[in-house]
Amino acid sequence: MSDTSPGSTPGFSHLIEKTVVMHASADWAATIQDLTAVMAEPAFSDGTGWATFGSLALSDESGPAWSILAKTTDLAAVAEAARSRGWTVGEPHIGPHETRCVLQSPAGLRVVAYA
């Protein structure tokens, strides 16, 4: 499926390698217990603030409770493409393993893009 249609501003799906739904919770320890009860053991967990359950990730970071986590090799291109569609683009944040920024669509969808 194309991320463009006649007369529209091009999207940026071609710049995204992988997406998962991410839930951020201040009570990570309790939330991972709840998710494990529903989904079984995570595919990966660092045991303190990050876990993945296939298409769902759990984080202890502050931010939107629910968002799309989008992996890219070109964060600047994703940010520019989002901006060109009228999205709000947050400042890049450099973490221990990645650089990321929060994108928000005019309708309120939040995407945490990272490289």
List the beta bridge partners of residue 32. none
Segments of the chain with pLDDT less than 50: 1-2, 4
pTM here?
Answer: 0.84
- At residue 63, the pLDDT reads 74
Based on the number of CB atoms within 10 Å of its own CB, is 74 exposed (0-12), middle (13-18) or buried (19 or more)?
Answer: middle
Read off the pLDDT of residues 24-49 as tens digits, 9 standing for 90 and up.
999 999 999 999 999 999 999 999 99
- At residue 1, the pLDDT reads 43
- At residue 108, the pLDDT reads 95
